[in-house]
Structure 1
């Protein structure tokens, strides 16, 4: 199994239509946390695919996407202060093909 890293991905998209497209793409790669924040478990290949896909969708002079690499997904224990809803790191789930 390829090693996955845990990422926090956050974005600020200047146009509602582009924001919706980015949101829909992110929904396929990670778990939605807040309005423009996702957590994702990604292999190097999936990370590269996501970066390339989003890079082609945004307007570089108006939009901003950040990928924060938290570390190896199976070994990192994120230290998070969560007010309100509970926070749980995304876990590997079986994929049905």
Structure 2
């Protein structure tokens, strides 16, 4: 388990359907999809920078908006989430084979 992972919530508002799909596909590689334009991510500093660079290239800066919320060290954050409707699942660390 990476000791330097941090927990992030990434939310975005993309004005064009194709760019939205591009951003969605980028985000699927970095975290768990929570809602329409919201992802929960556990990232090392390197992966966070990599994700931000890909998002920077995918969006139109005058039309689109991406928020990256740093919640703190992934193994120390005690999430307090109130979920109405569908069940919220905390993102657990799992190995990824590349």
TM-score bucket of the superposed structures, by smaller chain: over 0.9
Please give the per-residue CA displacement for 1:29-72, whole angstroms capped at 9, x wherever unaligned.
10000000000000000000000110011000000000011111
CA–CA distance in structure 1, aligned partners of residues 9 and 40 of structure 2: 5
In structure 1, list runs of 5 or more residues that go unmatched.
Answer: none
SS at match of 1:45: helix
Alignment map for 1:15-94 (pairs within 5 Å): 15-94=16-95
In structure 2, list runs of 5 or more residues that go unmatched.
Answer: none
**CA RMSD for the aligned pairs?**
0.9
CA–CA distance in structure 2, aligned partners of residues 14 and 50 of structure 1: 20
* Structure-1-length-normalised TM-score: 0.95
Moved over 3 A (4+): none
CA–CA distance in structure 2, aligned partners of residues 34 and 61 of structure 1: 24
**How much has 1:2 moved relative to structure 2?**
4.5
Aligned residues: 97
SS at match of 2:58: coil
| Greater Cα shift, 77-86 or 39-48 | 77-86
* Structure-2-length-normalised TM-score: 0.94
